[in-house]
Structure 1
Amino acid sequence: MMISSLPFSFLFSFVVIFGTILSLSSSHWLIIWAGLEINLLGFIPLIISRNTTAETQSGIKYFLIQALGSSLLMLGSLHTFSISSTWEVMDPHSWLTTTPLILSLILKLGAFPFHFWLPPVMAGLSWLMCLTLATWQKLAPLFLLSSLSQVYLNTTMTKFMLIIAGISSLIGGLGGINQTQIRAILAYSSIGHIGWMLLAMTASETVLKMYFLIYIFISLGLFSLLLFSESPILPNSFRQKTKDLKMLQISLILMLLSLGGLPPLLGFVGKWATMSYLTSLSSPITALPLIAGSLISLFYYLSLLFSLTLASSKMTLTSFSPSLTPLSLPLAPLFITSLILMLNISGSVFIFSSIPLSEFL
């Protein structure tokens, strides 16, 4: 089944990558819109490739939301062209003209106030599609929005982005408190990280790139572990007391804590860099709502992990995943996850190596 679907997956994966690259490499709003549409047309078949009811529902929801975002993007592009007779991205326009463009990109990202679609869509996807939605699908909207923010730097748009960033982080923290489904938790975590990316966007494009790369790296490790475990609900993956799964449990715990931003793990580095840059600009108070949202997220991560690691279960290794045997389990995920884990724990090295030694003398 998997082998027969490989040409299908490769074809539409290429379409998804091509659409994103086309959007990022263009300075023409019409070509950007076309690239986003190509990306959407390639991603929908990948979502529904297993032909399950949950994936079909998520695919329909995702298509409707992204179609609405594309409509707003085209509306803003046509409005811009009608006023200035240009399709250029870096050409500054009035706030009224730019508003549909900003709203369309925020809708595609899943930030406040258009965050409502992300948890139900991610709840029905496979782990690989969840990883793609949380990382690659954010690439084009995020950096297109960054290009717009550079045009309107230190204007009303900057204040608007700071408000969206703060509320998104708070929603990401508060929304995940009562969640027990791992996909829903990761969806709200993604919303919170979008808030930090928007804050980093207003600070520096370099900080934004670093934060996004760190987020991709942690998400790759976390979703790889979940993909290996094939467990849709968190307690089922943690209630394993067999010796062979201990390393997998520890890796998953550290990845979740790193995603929550617990120092000195790698997930803390991006937030620390953003705060450090804002402090140099004498505006650290703008990050207070995001810090509050991160602390709430970290609180329910710690509470959830504490309760799950103390839980007992009679489940065996074969009930953990029918496709994994005691011999194949340590060989498949642990080599990759060990490498990611080592680099994840080394986040403190990046932090302290960037502090001048003169501060300690």
Structure 2
Amino acid sequence: MSPLIWTLFLLSLTMSTTITMTSNHWLLAWLSLELNTLSIMPIMMKYHHPRMTEATTKYFIIQATAAASILFASTINAWQTGQWSITGPTSMLTTTLITSALALKLGLAPMHLWYPEILQGMPLYTAMLISTWQKLAPLALLYMMHKNLSPTMVSMLGLLSTATGGLMGMNQTQTRKIMAFSSIAHMGWLMVALIMNQSLATLTMITYITTTIAMFTAMAATTTKTTHDAGSIRTISPAITVTMMIILMSLGGLPPLTGFMPKWLLIKELTSMKLMLVGMTLLAASLPSLFFYTRLAYLIMLTTPPTTTQM
């Protein structure tokens, strides 16, 4: 692909997300979401491989369905209230439809089944882009309409995502699928934080994006695509080995690492608001995630790399 065309697609991807984050009109937000989807599709199909073509087609169908739902819901809202404003009043039907559509875009449970399959069909850097940058536009819309969101619905989506991401990630051997279920679990924490405290949700999002970018970069540098490859990382770079272990422990939320801070603050916030059950459920649901992070760290640090020496 020509560098000029490549630059044009990246610029379009950046601009579409920025427009979504700064818009206050549902039609403009919908238009920029569609532009965002169209901009990333050529990037996803950079290498002409059947798996990438399949993943890109799935991604387009999912994102187009979610965007169509947003357009449908915002049109109903304009018909009922006479307003196209994102921060304006919305009916319960409109809020439910838009929240469901944005949850589909983010890959939240129970609308998450497309997400691991698409990440598995992508190169590591493209998977990183889908796991980080592509989350910003839907999250920005949720931020803007947080006063109209149903706390019960968003909390249920969050708890279900945290539990699903942890449980379904336990038996995975593909690192991209592990990162996909990790993303689903972290989005669950973020959804609960969004209802409690928007500043805390921002901290959770920044921590998630930073650690995810670091993990994908380390995996790309060592070409780690399966857990079987993890034992060979020490022979490639001891520094990256230690870095990956720290990142994994941070993703798991172990103190005193960065990933512990937003989780601790969220549990503290839930406790202060007498929502002990939600906090305990979140903590219990995050244990399976911690298991597969620890297992991957063990494989990286403590297993013997394969040898070709003839006995």
Task: Return the TM-score normalized by structure 1.
Answer: 0.81
Partner of residue 270, structure 2: 278
Partner of residue 205, structure 1: 198
Aligned length: 308
Equivalent residue for 2:152, pick from 159, 179, 204: 159
The one-letter amino acid of 1:119's match is: P
The one-letter amino acid of 2:267's match is: M
Partner of residue 223, structure 1: 216
Say if 2:100 is the partner of 1:87.
no
Give, in angstroms, the shift of residue 178 of structure 1: 0.6
* CA–CA separation in structure 1 for the residues paired with 2:68 and 2:279: 32
Equivalent residue for 2:290, pick from 282, 298, 306: 298
Farther-moved stretch of structure 1 (115-124 vs 217-226): 217-226
* CA–CA separation in structure 2 for the residues paired with 1:287 and 1:111: 19
Give, in angstroms, the shift of residue 307 of structure 1: 4.3
Aligned CA distance change for structure 1 residues 228 and 304 (closer, same or farther; 3 Å): closer
Give, in angstroms, the shift of residue 79 of structure 1: 0.5
- 8 Å Cα contact 2:166-2:285 kept in structure 1: yes
Query: Structure 2 matches for 1:84-123, cutoff 5 A?
Result: 84-123=81-120
* CA–CA separation in structure 2 for the residues paired with 1:311 and 1:166: 37
SS at match of 1:175: helix
- 8 Å Cα contact 1:48-1:55 kept in structure 2: yes
Aligned CA distance change for structure 1 residues 196 and 187 (closer, same or farther; 3 Å): same
1:67-102 CA distance string (max 9 Å, x none): 110110011011011112210111212201222111
* CA–CA separation in structure 1 for the residues paired with 2:241 and 2:93: 51
- 8 Å Cα contact 1:258-1:266 kept in structure 2: yes
Equivalent residue for 1:168, pick from 161, 164, 168: 161
Give, in angstroms, the shift of residue 239 of structure 1: 2.3
The one-letter amino acid of 2:133's match is: W
Aligned CA distance change for structure 1 residues 183 and 315 (closer, same or farther; 3 Å): farther
SS at match of 1:292: helix
* CA–CA separation in structure 2 for the residues paired with 1:128 and 1:231: 12
Partner of residue 39, structure 1: 36
Query: Structure 2 matches for 1:120-139, cutoff 5 A?
Result: 120-139=117-136
1:310-341 CA distance string (max 9 Å, x none): 2331269xxxxxxxxxxxxxxxxxxxxxxxxx
Task: Return the TM-score normalized by structure 2.
Answer: 0.94
- 8 Å Cα contact 1:128-1:227 kept in structure 2: yes
* CA–CA separation in structure 1 for the residues paired with 2:38 and 2:2: 18
Unpaired runs of 5+ residues, structure 2, are: none
- 8 Å Cα contact 1:58-1:124 kept in structure 2: yes
Query: Structure 2 matches for 1:316-331, cutoff 5 A?
Result: none
* CA–CA separation in structure 2 for the residues paired with 1:77 and 1:216: 29
Farther-moved stretch of structure 1 (66-75 vs 284-293): 284-293
- 8 Å Cα contact 1:240-1:315 kept in structure 2: no
Aligned CA distance change for structure 1 residues 149 and 233 (closer, same or farther; 3 Å): same
Aligned CA distance change for structure 1 residues 220 and 83 (closer, same or farther; 3 Å): same
- 8 Å Cα contact 2:200-2:262 kept in structure 1: yes
- 8 Å Cα contact 2:90-2:148 kept in structure 1: no
Partner of residue 244, structure 2: 252
- 8 Å Cα contact 2:230-2:299 kept in structure 1: no
Give, in angstroms, the shift of residue 53 of structure 1: 1.8
Aligned CA distance change for structure 1 residues 233 and 107 (closer, same or farther; 3 Å): same
Aligned CA distance change for structure 1 residues 226 and 99 (closer, same or farther; 3 Å): same
Farther-moved stretch of structure 1 (62-71 vs 297-306): 297-306
* CA–CA separation in structure 2 for the residues paired with 1:68 and 1:311: 47
Partner of residue 353, structure 1: none
